[in-house]
Structure 1
Amino acid sequence: MSKLFFVDAHLDLSMNALEWNRDLREPVEEINRQEAGMTDKPDRAKATTTLPELRNGNIGLVVATQIGRVIEKNNNLPGSGWHSPEQAWAQTQGQLAWYRAMEEEGQMVMIRNKTELDEHLALWKNGKPNNSKPIGYILSLEGADSIVNISYVERAYNYGLRAIGPAHYGPGRYANGTDSSGRLNQMGIDLLKEMDRLDMILDATHLNDDAFWHALDIYKGNIWASHNNCRAFVDHNRQFSDDMIKALIERDAVIGIALDAWMMVPNWIRGSSTPQGMNCNMDIMINNIDRICQLAGNSDHAAVGSDLDGAFGTEQCPYDLKTIADLQKTPQLLKNRGYTDNDIEKIASGNWIRFMRKAL
């Protein structure tokens, strides 16, 4: 097969640009050269994702995040979050400013509606080289803590925000996420009602089991899971059980498979395990895609949400992936499992595009 067009539904581009101080216009090799010897973050000199690598991989459309957690004031762990929602909001606005700067230079373009989506896809499929094409992005908020109050939801929608995941890790202001428990609080219920009013996308990723079922019961609009794997392979609350996957399929959701090694192989120990030592390769990604397809009885609900720049790099992703452009290995791996060209195209981009055309 020729190089397929890919959509990646979860990248923390602005977080890397601002908090990691990475100029994402540069090649991966240059960023890793600059970071040689740095130890402040575990993925220094192990980056996989830049704008040139997205172009190299024919990944012309992404869901790009804003993120700003709020934590208790007595929690002083570095980088874990902000001590007020106003601070977290300011962080997300700095991230938005970076996306705007990339747009002004022609590096990226925000996608806010179906017309803009179709125009962007036509540009990327015109047969010309990708070198000067902007990376299209749909703006998503990972964790709603930075929404100071409900009136900020419409403010964010007006500047282009189209999807919100109410929770991230631990207890949140609106919902409880990974490694916590409990249903949505009243603020979370009001958040979902406002998102429904604005026809936004609910990202079910990171919701704990209680909040997941509560949210699905409340929310009437479009739901996706931008980056979430299967609990059948890694038995942890960060992953979805088969029943949760089936419920999402019933809502016509699409689930993006993430490439974070601890979500791919059981018993991963951060800072100790290695991809080679745990035999973590891209075939495990295919296992997760295949399970969703088997549960659905079709290939309409599985896709990619790599999270490849989510505070990890090659030290914690499949050993046969060196940069995000290696997503192009996915089609042959799927073909090896008996998937047809039509199935593969849907998993690479078609499922996300179908969903986006409906939701935008």
Structure 2
Amino acid sequence: MPAKLIGMIGVEPPSTSALHIIAGGNISPDYVTEFSRAHEDAGFDSVLVGYNTASAEGFNVAAYAAAHTKNLAFLIAHRPGVVAPTFAARAAATFDHFSGGRIALHIISGLSDAEMAAEGDFSTKELRYHRAAEYLDIMRKIWTSSERFDYDGEFYKLKGAYSAVKPLQNPHVPLFFGGSSTGALEMGAKHCDVYAVYGEPLKETSDVIADFRKRAAEFGRTPKFNISFRPVIADTEDEAWEKALKIQNDLIAQNLPKEARDRSAQRMLDAASRSDIHDERLWMGAARVSGARGNSSCLVGTPRQVAEAMLKYYRLGIESFLIRGFDPVNDTKEFGKELIPLLKEGALQVDREKSSEKVEA
């Protein structure tokens, strides 16, 4: 299968070089429509709809965008524990039918204790991951069980749970997750289909893939992998690097906190502390000046150079790429002109090479 491309939509235009696209309360239906259609026209397969404690509600945003697009799918960030797992399972299955199978969920268990407190949740981070594991266990049972069932867990107890509506997708709505803590990895290995990682150097990414494959294998599961980058492209390599430095200066002017907010971000900052540039194209300058917020590792160069850099990750086992720019709509359109076609054609060539190697073996 060719590489899958995931973008990200928000509900209002950003006022600065955008690290975050979720945005606040000034919802613009016209902007959501434009942004979603820009992704569809550019060749993206799906878009992430983000989540924070003050953001627009993701299922509603995705439902509106789905009504104004034809084929674009939606990866909706979802926080276990905010609503009951039985309700969430039915909501996702219902969306799956109305959208024609265009939904996946990205499971997030809370960025920080302070953020969770704003939603009335005072559980510790590790406790939230244990609860999320039960939550996902219940959701998967709701999606797949043909009979009513009871559930007696530490966090959830159910009697006669059942849903008449099942997902359109088989066996259920795909589940993504991110994180590198012990609790996150245990939850993901047992329950999730796709491990979403930040953009790190090739060596570190290879190690992460190998480690998580072993964890998932203990549960008889074969996971897929997604990686996030901010491509910075231009007609020439020099112009691309000039563009990258301008983005870095814009971020410096925003005076963002420099400390990492989670373990995955700290891994990015550790890479940035060794060098701003890794593997020729991976640029960590934006991550270094922003505390690695907003999936801020970048690939810099011409569209062909960046596509070739992404294909190195594809060869490692990365099957989908979450890419977004710092000028959201315009960068989305720019990615569609050359970068995405080059990446998808290159991925097909890699697949053909692998098939030939299997035949020869």
Q: Using structure 1 for the length normalisation, give the TM-score.
A: 0.50
User: Which structure is higher in helix share?
Assistant: 2
Which one has the largest radius of gyration?
Answer: 2
Greater strand proportion:
2
